[in-house]
Amino acid sequence: MIPEEPSDPWTPFIGAVVEGLSTAARTAGLELPTEVALDQLDLEGGPEGDVAFPAHRLAAGARRPPAEVAAAIAGAFPPTDGVRSVHATGPYVNVRVDPTRLIRATLDLVFARGATYGHRPTTGGPVCIEHTSANPTGPFHVGRVRNAILGDTLARAARAAGSHVTTQYYVDDMGRQAAMISWIWAKPRDQWPESVRAADDGRGGEAEKPDRHYGRIYPAVSAYLKEHADAAAEVARVVQQVESGTPPANHREITQQILDGMLASLERLGIRFDEFVWESDFLRDGSVPAVLERMRRSPRAVTEPNGALAIDAAAHGLPKESTHVVVQRADGTSLYVTRDVAYHLQKFGRFARVVDVLGQDHQLHARTLDALLDEIGETRRPEFVIYQDITVPEGGRMSTRRGSAVWLDDLWAEAVARARKEVLARREDLREADVDRIAEAVAAGAIRFHIVRVAPEKPVVFRWEDALSFEGRSGPFVQYSYARAASLLRRSGVEGRTATFEADRLSDPEEVELVRVVAKFPRVVAYTARSGHVQALAGYAHELADQFNRFYHAVPVLKSEGERASRIALVAAVRQTLGNALELLGIVPLETM
């Protein structure tokens, strides 16, 4: 067995502390297995130590006062490599590690791992993360892009934590919505309903992004169809054509064009997909008919009065008014949920874990999907990551129909414009291309950070001034800190990877604290992947940048004497760690800004 290089600089210290606590407890006549000590250990420490052990529970078991137990353990703590001091504060045993050793262990690990510091080796089965999957009917609004940012960040974190991840975008080219688009565009413009023509105000033309071009009239078409049964019937025929494998000539092409336009918007945010799965594939390969056949055999299969096939899902506790889940219309066409069952069967065949990132309006869909999987005897289930809506200050979620949608492309344009202004205000030496490059990276960083910093289960109120903030708890603040570190390194003339240091030269409080923050990065990555709490990654990036800036103002680097090389090494480690954190957030680390 080759001993694996530890991925976390804290690991040996925690191990030593736990051993010491256990030994000390025994000396004090108490039983404290190392696993229990580890379980109860507070890794964040408190005001008095790097790690803390609350003695209450141990004391309760022994029927002794907690403060007395803490004092006894502190007194009996054996001399331990890596541990500098142990003292009791009331009922807490506070342990300080040897800062010099922690600094050495941390910087050594950062330099050895480089771009993979914080990551773990790839282990375990393949994971599928499906996210975004917005219908190709028009441009992204900001509400929808939360899915993409969340899913992309989750995928990056999972990869870093050792999973082999494949991201998928499920393209709905089959439903009524896609059919509406090809239906209207198959008609000459002079045959469009008046309301639809009015919605198409003649903007755009050749240069316009196709998602915007084709999507602009979508709400008007949708509204028109609600009022006109004859037109709706035409659309239904298109659905049938698609379902039977003979879609209208323009169908796939328009869908692809709109999708390409949408993807171009995500590309600016650094979001790409490994695979695209088209819904119609599941018709073509016969898997939807196969799923329907399995459903038909269910004892809970029922035929509705008009001939539609449904499953009586009352047994699954679905909170519907009617517990009948229709899986096939009377005209033989399938429904979204039915195709989604076929899609998931395919995923289960390829992946050990299946994760779906869904907006909370899909909550019921998720439960229905589970119920139908159960109905056909499938035991595996997807893991759902549900996020809340982005709402508008006036109240309510972003909605195209209500006119409250903020388009991602508009937010992007505004963010780039503001970033350009900021860049130009402080840099006159840059070439135009560099100004653009930096402005776009800052814009993307601001947008991504603004979304990812909030827990997915919290609703987000969209405010322009917040989304465009470049200060404080923001993406640009972190990027700026990175650029500051990079600048320092450039001027130092020392390459990061060859940085040499003497750990005992780094003894200022700001230096030790900065190392501590660097050292906890692997723990944050693991936590983020395990919990899905992507906001922890954003919080960490801000914390590290913040501590770096404090250090920067507190101690000179290039102008210092004996500490110069060691401080440069520390800056190199910060730059690396900050860069790795930004990478996981999908934000471009800028060498200068």
Partner RNA sequence: GGGCGCGUGGCUCAGCUUGGAUAGAGCACCGGGUUCCUAACCCGGCGAUCGAGGGUUCAAAUCCCUCCGCGCCCGCCA
Tell me the torsion sign for CA atoms 36, 521, 269, 170.
negative
Per-residue binding string, RNA, 84-123, x by CB under 7 A, is: -----xxxx-x-----------------------------
Asked if residue 403 binds RNA (CB under 7 A), the reply is no
User: What does the DSSP 8-state code read for residue 42?
Assistant: B
Asked if residue 361 binds RNA (CB under 7 A), the reply is yes
Per-residue binding string, RNA, 207-246, x by CB under 7 A, is: ----------------------------------------
CB of 113 to RNA, least distance (A): 22
CB of 393 to RNA, least distance (A): 8
Per-residue binding string, RNA, 378-397, x by CB under 7 A, is: --------x-xx-x---xxx
Q: Which of 214, 477, 501, 521 binds RNA (CB under 7 A)?
A: 477
Alpha-carbon distance 21 to 95, whole Å? 10
Asked if residue 535 binds RNA (CB under 7 A), the reply is yes
Helix (H) or strand (E) holding 234: helix 229-243
Asked if residue 539 binds RNA (CB under 7 A), the reply is yes
Stretch that binds RNA, among 19-27, 78-86, 292-300, 357-365 (CB under 7 A): 357-365
Asked if residue 440 binds RNA (CB under 7 A), the reply is no
Q: Which of 34, 40, 241, 256 binds RNA (CB under 7 A)?
A: 40
- Considering only residues 119 to 148 of the shown chain, the ones binding RNA according to CB under 7 A are 135
Q: Which of 120, 146, 542, 575 binds RNA (CB under 7 A)?
A: 542
How many other C-beta atoms can be found within 10 angstroms of the C-beta atom of residue 216?
18
Asked if residue 476 binds RNA (CB under 7 A), the reply is yes
- Considering only residues 481 to 520 of the shown chain, the ones binding RNA according to CB under 7 A are 483-484, 486-488, 491
User: Rg (Cα) of the chain, in Å, rounded?
Assistant: 29
Asked if residue 45 binds RNA (CB under 7 A), the reply is yes
Q: Which of 36, 290, 376, 461 binds RNA (CB under 7 A)?
A: 461
Strand, coil or helix: 70: helix
- Considering only residues 555 to 574 of the shown chain, the ones binding RNA according to CB under 7 A are 555-559
Q: Which of 469, 576, 577, 580 binds RNA (CB under 7 A)?
A: 469
Alpha-carbon distance 354 to 336, whole Å? 18
Q: Who's near 322: CB < 8 A, 6+ residues apart?
A: none
Task: Using the minimum distance from each CB to RNA, give the nearer residue, 110 or 568.
Answer: 568
Alpha-carbon distance 93 to 18, whole Å? 12
275-278 vs 164-171, strand pairing mode? parallel
Strand, coil or helix: 95: strand
CB of 458 to RNA, least distance (A): 5
- Considering only residues 269 to 328 of the shown chain, the ones binding RNA according to CB under 7 A are 279, 304-306, 308, 319-322, 324, 326
CB of 201 to RNA, least distance (A): 26
CA distances from 84 to 13, 46, 77, 513 (A): 11, 16, 11, 16
Q: Which of 15, 241, 370, 527 binds RNA (CB under 7 A)?
A: 527
How many other C-beta atoms can be found within 10 angstroms of the C-beta atom of residue 344?
23
Task: Using the minimum distance from each CB to RNA, give the nearer residue, 75 or 126.
Answer: 75
Task: Using the minimum distance from each CB to RNA, give the nearer residue, 78 or 556.
Answer: 556
Query: Would you say 553 and 126 are in contact if contact means Cβ atoms under 8 Å apart?
Result: no
CA distances from 71 to 24, 55, 110, 182 (A): 10, 9, 36, 77
Q: Binding-site residue total for RNA (CB under 7 A)?
A: 104
HSE-CB at 247 with a 13 A cutoff on CA atoms is 24
φ/ψ of residue 303, rounded to 5: -100, 125
Asked if residue 82 binds RNA (CB under 7 A), the reply is no
Q: Who's near 29: CB < 8 A, 6+ residues apart?
A: 62
Helix (H) or strand (E) holding 61: helix 56-62
